[in-house]
Amino acid sequence: MQRQRITNKEGIVLSVRKAGTGGRILQVFTRESGTLRLFVSPASVKRYGTGCLVPYALITFTMRESSDFLMMTQYEGNILLDMMSLGYEDMSNWYFISELTAALFPPAEGDVRAWKVLGRAALTARKRNKSICACMASVQLLVCAGYNPCAEEPQKQLNLSPAASHLLQQFVLYSWGTDAPEQIPLRAYKGLVQYINGFIRQYCDLDMKVKLAFTGMI
């Protein structure tokens, strides 16, 4: 008989998809265990509802673990950022953050700093420019994962302008909950978005399904 381990965790939902008749499969980022893939049975969905089974919900949950799968048996939570209220480009940028987080922090590779960045960025995006918050979160998550987008070599190779480089430094050092940089030049922001996509592809060796988008609005 297989031995199953039951643990309680807290996580931020990154993605949700339907599984079978009424079930769900979630990607959840946890501070201790990285990104976990969990199955929620139709019975659990019926009992606990779908209100917090959405991206950027902060949930506490009970997980049953065996050698074959992880099952979320109980859960509750609240929404940090309502994805359904976002426009297409803003929503796309936050799906990009979900994909980037899962790629940078796979199972067993949790990171307390990344956990704080993700949660605080989602909360800040409630009241601030959603895509700017996603852009700031992306560079901070890269730093948490051990990459250095501020290094001279990638900036030179990817032709990052001085203005965009200055903006990058501001975004990396930004403290969530404080005032964002007052002046964000449109051209520098566009160049930074292009740089981040190129850096992830070339220096992180990640082929992202979703790219960080330049919204054209600040």
How far apart are the C-alpha atoms of 182 and 82, rounded to whole Å?
25
> What whole-number distance in Å separates Cα of residue 193 and Cα of residue 213?
7
Q: What is the pLDDT of residue 207?
A: 94
Beta bridge partners of 72: 63
User: Angle 183-189-194 (CA atoms, 0-180°, nearest 5)?
Assistant: 170
pLDDT by 10s per residue, the chain, length 218: 456 789 999 999 999 999 989 999 999 999 999 999 999 999 999 999 999 999 999 999 999 987 778 999 999 999 999 999 999 999 999 999 999 999 999 998 889 999 999 999 999 999 999 999 999 999 999 999 999 999 999 999 999 999 999 999 999 999 998 877 767 899 999 999 999 999 999 999 999 999 999 876 65
**CB-CB contact of 80 with 32 (8 Å):** no
- Separation CA 92–CA 96 (nearest Å): 6
Domains of the chain: 6-79 (2.40.50.140), 85-204 (no CATH)
Residue 216: the pLDDT is 62
pLDDT score, position 179: 78
CB 79 within 8 A of CB 125: no
- CA 199, CA 132: separation in Å to the nearest integer? 18
> Is 9:61 a contact under the CB 8 Å cutoff?
yes
pTM of the predicted protein model: 0.94
